[in-house]
Structure 1
Amino acid sequence: MSVLFFKPIPRPAIWGHTLVKDYFGFDDFPEGIGQAWAFSAQKDASTICISDPYKGQTLLDLWNNHQELFHHQDEEFPVIISLVAPEDDLSIQVHPATPIAHQLGYKMGKNEAWYFIESKPGSQIVYGHHAKNEDDLYNNYINKNRWEELIKHLDVHTGDFVYLPAGILHAMKKGSIVYEIQQATDVTFRFYDYHRKDAQGHERPLHLKQAVASLSYDPKKMINDIRPVETLLENGKQTVFISNDSFTVTRLEITGINHLQYDNYELATVVKGKGKVNGQKLSIGDSFLIPYQEEFVVEGNLTIMMTTR
């Protein structure tokens, strides 16, 4: 076996235009794309392998029929990996934890994380809120239309990693380019959308009841307590940003030739620079699967983000 490359899936969004296409070199993308799914095994949107011997098969096909690549039998594919480049602010939203998701008819909740590939000086995201409980939320904020006073902000910079546990109120802002990891349940409840209208003049629907039911009031969840673990490579550096039950996210900063092997499969995406993996050319936007315990050689001057569970 060797590494397997995958073709990204364009995802239209009201806050998208051409930044994803232009930054990552996805020349076949149309306008109006807010993000690209680099890896997805959703039944209605699974990324397609473009490498032999599995060329033309979807990631879901490989997960179901070729577990020798993954060694995670009897599990569902765990994540969706996106490359996000908003040209307008995203809606303020929340994802449910698994117990709440079950009550609302979904199979699981959703934890999420963002790595900021690029972020302009002074950039912020919505990260948490000031309400003490549901009564406080309605009586002092929602009913009085005090949205700006409700939300908390977090400063973000190029190279930052932000963990978004289920239940946290959050929103990405325009101007950043982000590598996004989310658990593979496409459930998002829109809390507030700035009264924004689509091309037909309609506001997008909110999911306020479900969002409030999913919201956490725990102040500890509103602190981005990330403790990276760094390891020197032959020629470069490895940084593990987070490793929990949902996902493990690693950054490889490559400055030469490195011989590597991992105990798990890895979903890898080039987010900066160029180089080679096993002799195949790599450039920004390329995404490839490193199979279970596969030895590989990566070289060049580039940054690779990797996710597994």
Structure 2
Amino acid sequence: MSNQLRYDGQVAVITGAGNGLGKVYALFFASRGAKVVVNDLGGSMSGSCRSLLYHFANYVTGDGASNRAADLVVEEIKKAGGEAVADYNSVSDNGAGIIKTAVEKFGRVDILINNAGILRDTSFVKMTEKDWDAVYSVHVKGTFLVTKAAWDVMRKQSYGRIINVTSTAGLYGNFGQANYSMAKLGLLGLAKTLALEGEGKGILVNTIAPLAASRLTETALPAEILNFLKPEAVIPLVGYLCHSSCSENGQVYEVGAGWFAKLRWQRSEGLLLDPKKGLTPEDVRDQWNKVEDWNRVSYPVSASDSFAEIMKAKL
């Protein structure tokens, strides 16, 4: 195809790339000409630390760690004629080491997909501080460490494409996933700010909320549903967002089973009262219908948009 989106001469770093979506990302970019850093610490599905395959990641801390997962993906890429290197660093312990591998082996970093993650699902009443910290450490701190190291490289290049991975749990909440929901929505906030800070340097940052079949979802969803949730169905969106021709920045998308959708904030016009008149809870109660009236809405896209309604009160 003469108009095929390609990544020749570019370097893609993918965390948690030993299985599932991470592996699919790695194989795709390698097949389209990119040199790929396949990061994966390895791990088992047993114990309190489990691979995050439901909602797309493949990184584990804890028992069963092995280099084999990353090695197998690299072998597959090389057999197909591509170029790749394995990296076994933990995103939360040595995220900078992952980027160091890319620079030392290939000299640059053009694409970063922050795919690594874990699950520690339990209801909030049973959640321990250890459960909370473990999820935060991998998803939030790990993404920060890897992205911070890549950021310096991309700024010097005046080019970069970064994808953060959120989830519907982060966007909408999900029972038993308070820690995971916190971390995933935090990654969206991080991406929104990095999109503002990076745009002037040619660095574009977007967020995806993918849903794909995995070893974990096999126990929760019927086969007919799993057949629709192929990891490969997420690739078209990720491939486009990471291409040099794409100008999307600071956006969030839901994706799965061939469905691609952009999300945005929607806000009611709201209730505007005069703060100089001594406001009371009763004032809000008596006009609550205006607070939740969705007949007149706006779509704020920045902090200044949010502040505009408050400024009307001042004026």
The normalised TM-score by structure 1 is 0.28
Normalized per residue, which structure has more strand?
1
* Higher alpha-carbon Rg: 2
Normalized per residue, which structure has more helix?
2
Query: Which structure carries more relative contact order (alpha carbon 8 Å, separation 6+)?
Result: 1
The normalised TM-score by structure 2 is 0.27
